[in-house]
Amino acid sequence: KLDAITIPSFISKRYGEKRPVIMCISALIILIFFVPYVASGLAAIGKLFNSLFGWDYMAAVIIGAIVIISYTSIGGFSAVATMDLIQSIIMTAALAVIVVFGIVQAGGMDAVLDHARSLPGFLSFTETYNVASNSAEPYGFIRIISMMAWGLGYFGMPHILVRFMAIRDENELKLSRRIASVWVVISMGVAVFIGIVGHAVSAAGRVPFLEGSATETIIVRLSDLLSTYGIFPAIVAGCILAGILAATMSTADSQLLAAASALSENLVQDVFGVKLTEKQTMLIARLTVVAIAVVALFLASDPDSNVFQIVSFAWAGFGATFGPAILCALFWKRSNRQGIMAGLVAGGAMIFIWKFLVKPLGGIWNIYELLPAFLVACVVIVAVSLATPKPDGGIERIFDEMGAD
C-alpha cells in the first residue's frame, strides 16, 4: 500500500513525512549498527580458516570480504536471495551430519546425556554450568531477563523484516511466518545441542577442550576430526565447513544489501533530494557495500574478538530502535511522527549509554542493553506522542487501511 522497499521508507511513509527526518535517522541507524554486524561475520570467516588451515587470520577476513562484496554488489537482492536459499540447504545438511557424527564420537546418545548430567547445573532450569570453576551457578533474575530480551530484537531487524516486505504475494505471509518460526526453533535447538555434544566429545578425548572465544570453533574441530576417516568423510567434512561459511555469508550479504539500500535510496535520494538514474543508484549502492565492508574489516581485525558479543550489540541496536517504532506504526493509531523520531533517537542513544556506562557497574545493572533501551524507546514514543498533536486524518486513514488488510 505504501510502496516502501526499506524499513526507513516504510516508517517515513506511514507517518506521512514531508521533510524526511525519520528517514534520515533510520538510515543512519542502519549504517551505524550494520558495521559491527558485518564485522562479526568477517571475524567468523577469519576464525574458520585460521583454525582449519592455519591461514593468517586477517588474510582470511579480507578474502571473505572480497567474496561477499563481489556477488552482493553485482547481483543485488536477486543474487542474495538465491545464495541464501542454496546456503540454507547446505547449512541444514551440515548441521544434521555434524550432530550425528558428534554423537558417535562421544560414544552414543546415552554417553552425551550422561556427560551433560554429570556437569553441575548443566541441564537445570535454575542453574547454569560455569566452565571456569566447573561448578553450578544460579541463573539469577538478571540473567533470565537478559536471555528473554533477545526475542525483542526480532521486531526491529531490517535484514529480516525486508524479507517479508519483498514477498511476491501478501497471501503467503501467514505461511512464511510459520515456516520462519519453526525453522528458528529447530536451528536454535540444534545449535545448542551441538554445544552439548561438542563438550561430550571433548570429555571423551576426541577433540581438545576449548576456552573463551575458541569455543565458537567446535564445529570446525569436529569437521577436522571427520576428515581423518578417509576420502568420502573428508568430502563430507568439506561440505560441513561450507555450511559454516554459508551461514556467515548469508547473514553478511543481507546486512550489506540493507545498508546499501538505506544509503542510496533513503539518504541520497529521499533525504538529500538528489535525483539519480538507475545506474547511479546502483553505483552508490555498490560503493556503500564496499565502504561498510572496509570499516568492518578494521573492527574484525582482532583475532581474539568474540563473535557472539559483537552480534549481541548490533542485535540490541536494531531491536531497541526499530522494534518499538515498527510495533507502534502497526498497532497504535495515536502514535505520531514526533513520537517515533524521539523513540528512534532515545533507543539508539540508550544502547550506547547502557552498554558502556551503566552495564560496567555490574550487579543489577548487568542486564542485556536491549531490554532497558527497548523500554526507554517505548516510553518515549508514548509520552511524546501523547504530548504532541494527534496524527491528522490522512495518517490515521493509512493506519486504518493497513488494519483492514
133-170 pLDDT per residue, tens: 778 888 888 888 998 899 899 898 887 787 777 677 77
> What is the per-residue pLDDT for 1?
62
Q: What is the mean pLDDT of the chain?
A: 82
Q: Say if 2 falls within a structural domain.
A: no
* pTM for the full predicted model: 0.78
For cell 568492518, the residue is 296
Highest mean pLDDT, choosing among 74-83, 85-94, 95-104? 95-104
What is the DSSP secondary-structure string of 250-304?
HHHHHHHHHHHHIIIIIIIIIIS-----HHHHHHHHHHHHHHHHHHHHHHT--TT
Mean pLDDT along residues 19-46: 84
- Please state the domain count of the chain: 1
* DSSP H or E run through 170: none
Q: Say if 282 falls within a structural domain.
A: yes
How far lies 78's CA from each of 65, 163, 179, 245, 372, in Å? 19, 12, 21, 20, 37
Measured CA angle at 315 (ends 298, 187), to 5 deg: 105
Q: Say if 1 falls within a structural domain.
A: no
pLDDT band at 325 (very low <50, low <70, confident <90, very high): very high
- Measured between alpha carbons, how far is 282 from 304 in angstroms, rounded to an integer? 36
- Measured between alpha carbons, how far is 310 from 366 in angstroms, rounded to an integer? 17
Please give the grid coordinates belonging to residue 247.
Answer: 551461514
For residue 334, what are the domain limits?
A: 7-404
Q: Say if 150 falls within a structural domain.
A: yes
Q: With CA atoms as reference, report the closest residue to 306 among 23, 65, 46.
A: 46
Greater confidence (217 vs 387) lies with: 387
pLDDT band at 405 (very low <50, low <70, confident <90, very high): low
Per-residue pLDDT reduced to its tens digit, 95-139: 788 889 899 999 999 999 998 888 888 777 788 877 777 788 888
- Measured between alpha carbons, how far is 313 from 311 in angstroms, rounded to an integer? 5
Q: Say if 79 falls within a structural domain.
A: yes
Mark 64-76 as b/e (b = at least 16 C-beta within 10 Å).
bbeebbeebbeeb
Q: Say if 97 falls within a structural domain.
A: yes
Per-residue pLDDT reduced to its tens digit, 39-64: 888 888 888 788 777 788 888 888 88
- Measured between alpha carbons, how far is 184 from 187 in angstroms, rounded to an integer? 5
| CATH number of residue 71's parent domain | 1.20.1730.10
